A and B are shown apart, each in its own frame.
Chain A
Amino acid sequence: MSEQTPKNDALVRVDGVEKTFRRGSEDIQVLSKLSLRVPAGEFLALMGPSGSGKSTLLNLIGGLDRPTQGTVHVAGERIDSLSDTQLAAWRARHIGFVFQLYNLMPVLTAERNVELPLLLTSLSKAERRKHVATALAMVGLSHRAQHYPRTMSGGEQQRVGIARGIVTDPTLLLCDEPTGDLDRKAGDEILNLLQALNREHGKTIIMVTHDPHASARAARTVHLDKGQLTNTGPQ
């Protein structure tokens, strides 16, 4: 069992987590006795080869999946034992997701895409508009608010994805290969943005990446291989 940055006041606490998937008659263990601590305000990169379990770990921390064994605490709350409905409400409150392929709704404008998580709150339309405008301004896309994703570049779409991820001011921003589908220039812009969110706004960010160039922007990098953490990387 590997233990990284053991702090009791960590924002994210993963303890002895195992995750096994069943494929046909075969059980495939993706994570094995893994523990991890992520303090509040950290920008953490999770690196590793394909199939090492990076995205699975991110899904467990984001409450998209449950571990086969072990516990996951985020902001002091144990999330692995919550029901589906409780988890959905918890995600809406605490987690912002940024995906590799942006995952925007093609039928909605940038503004409406960013507004989506706010539809689950009790905010009025005017308040939602205000939050959306702030989020779009933070990613530098105020002028593209009324544009549909198909009319935007990959970098712009990812910035809309980030605006959607931060519009509810979540406890934790989880990014799954956020620069994986972008060229170097657009990727750098996204990394600059994530760094700024971390440094200037104190956002806690966990980013899964293959790219050492991307992980270099994080404050700390941890490596996964065959479902286990292998080292903490530069702090």
Chain B
Amino acid sequence: MKFFPLVWGNLKRRKLRTSLTLLSILVAFVLFGFLCAIKQALVGGVELAGADRLIVRHKVSLIQLLPESYQARMERIPGVAAAAHQTWFGGVYQDPKNFFMQCPVVPEQFMAMFPEFLLPPDQMKAWLATRTGCIVGRNTAERFHLKIGDKIPIMSPIWMRKTWEFDIVGIFDGAKKGTDTTSLFFRYDYFDEARKAQNWGTGQVGWYTIRVKDPSQAAAVARAVDQEFENSPAETKTEPEGAFAQGFANQIGNIALIVAGILGAVFFTILLVTGSTMSQAVRERIGELGVLKAIGFTNGQVLALVLAESCLLTVLGGVLGLGFAWLLTSRGDPTGGMLPLFFFPVRDLLLGLGLSIVLGVITGILPAQQAMRLRVAEALRRM
């Protein structure tokens, strides 16, 4: 710490140059924060997936339905603890841009399968007692100012092509920060009976989630489920919940690779900008470095001083950039519902901090070595 005034003073020497470099680092880290949040939004479901849950869908496509009768057969398969189904409702609330997922479910089975959704017991009781009842995630409830007791009209272009009306009886929260609380769930019995009128889809569901007794046996259970329905009109494809979520994300592309590619290009540019700043800074004060050596600073201490300067620059820019990114992303999903898991994870924030230090070391190491190797007498002549 006793060398801090010297390091800080050197950074302040060329205020404009330092400010511009700082600004470029800051922008890079804001971008880093945003891309991490987008990545989290797109692939976060993979991380949040339960290790003991499998998704069973139609072998041909997710939009093909499966018989409701499969549930009982699945639950008889050794290794399966429970099963619950969901069906894509695809409804529109007021305007198509107000996107959020809606699914009919069997309340008790569904809430037991997904303990990450937290619903107060009295609201659960109300849901069981209300045939047209639905529960809404906190995120969507706050977004549209919905509250318990409200009626919510949802137009379904798939089912009945009509506006369905549900009574909001509960608002659920997420057990973890990344838990998606944008969805709306309503009762399957109400749904199934109502769709009889369209004479299509009755007794059929979108997909199943099954809980396995032993996560280490998940692959064997998945094979057993698919074998159970082999050669039937509705063959199944069973995969871990994480792989299912990954498959969804992969429809956009390899998100991690895209993000890494963009960030790689950005940080390579920053590397050149900061490296150039540090090289100039050292070249400009070769004489002063000679003075430091003359009064007794060792080569190692001079190396450390230059490295400390470059690290201070990048860490300062990094902290400011990450801070801004944190503030901007803490306002939530900027798309209005398309990216429900949009947030800047603490893990990535710490990664960003580490990256800022690494950036400082890489950009400072060459100028620092140059400073370290200076011959004192020669350096003093360049004062």
A contacts, CB < 8 Å to B: 56, 59, 62, 64-65, 84-85, 88-89, 91-93, 97, 99, 101, 103, 105-108, 112, 116-117, 119-120, 125, 164
Across the interface, B296 reaches (CB within 8 A) one of A103, A106, A117, A125, namely A117
**Which residues of A have CB within 8 Å of B291?**
97, 99, 103, 105
Contacting A at CB under 8 A, from B258-295, are: 287-288, 291-295
Q: Are A107 and B292 in contact (CB under 8 A)?
A: no
B5 to chain A, nearest CB (A): 6
**Which residues of B have CB within 8 Å of A164?**
295
A-B contacts, 19 listed (Cβ < 8 Å): A59-B377, A64-B377, A65-B375, A65-B377, A84-B299, A85-B298, A85-B299, A85-B300, A88-B296, A89-B298, A92-B296, A92-B297, A93-B296, A97-B291, A107-B10, A107-B13, A112-B6, A119-B2, A120-B301
**Which residues of A have CB within 8 Å of B3?**
119
Q: Are A64 and B298 in contact (CB under 8 A)?
A: no
B117 to chain A, nearest CB (A): 57
B contacts, CB < 8 Å to A: 2-3, 5-6, 9-10, 12-13, 287-288, 291-301, 375-377, 380, 383
Query: Which of B291, B296, B383 neighbours the largest number of chain A CB atoms within 10 Å of its CB?
Result: B296
**Which residues of A have CB within 8 Å of B377?**
56, 59, 64-65
Q: Are B12 and A88 in contact (CB under 8 A)?
A: no
A97 to chain B, nearest CB (A): 5
Across the interface, B292 reaches (CB within 8 A) one of A101, A106, A112, A116, namely A116
Q: Are A91 and B287 in contact (CB under 8 A)?
A: no
Query: Which of B10, B291, B294 neighbours the largest number of chain A CB atoms within 10 Å of its CB?
Result: B294
CA distance A85 to B292 in the complex (A): 13
Query: Which of B5, B287, B295 neighbours the largest number of chain A CB atoms within 10 Å of its CB?
Result: B295
Q: Are A117 and B295 in contact (CB under 8 A)?
A: yes
Q: Are A120 and B297 in contact (CB under 8 A)?
A: yes
B212 to chain A, nearest CB (A): 63
Q: Are A91 and B294 in contact (CB under 8 A)?
A: yes
**Which residues of A have CB within 8 Å of B299?**
84-85, 88
CA distance A112 to B294 in the complex (A): 17
Q: Are B298 and A84 in contact (CB under 8 A)?
A: yes
A153 to chain B, nearest CB (A): 19
**Which residues of B have CB within 8 Å of A65?**
375-377
**Which residues of A have CB within 8 Å of B12?**
107
Query: Which of B291, B292, B299 neighbours the largest number of chain A CB atoms within 10 Å of its CB?
Result: B291
A118 to chain B, nearest CB (A): 9
CA distance A105 to B293 in the complex (A): 13
For the complex with contacts A65-B376, A117-B295, 11 further pairs of A-B residues with Cβ separation under 8 Å are A56-B377, A64-B294, A88-B293, A92-B296, A99-B380, A105-B9, A108-B5, A112-B6, A112-B9, A119-B2, A164-B295
Q: Are A91 and B296 in contact (CB under 8 A)?
A: yes
Q: Are A92 and B295 in contact (CB under 8 A)?
A: yes
Chain B residue, CB-CB nearest to A116: B295
A103 and B383 in contact, given A65-B376, A117-B295 (Cβ under 8 angstroms): yes
**Which residues of A have CB within 8 Å of B376?**
59, 64-65
Q: Are B295 and A125 in contact (CB under 8 A)?
A: no
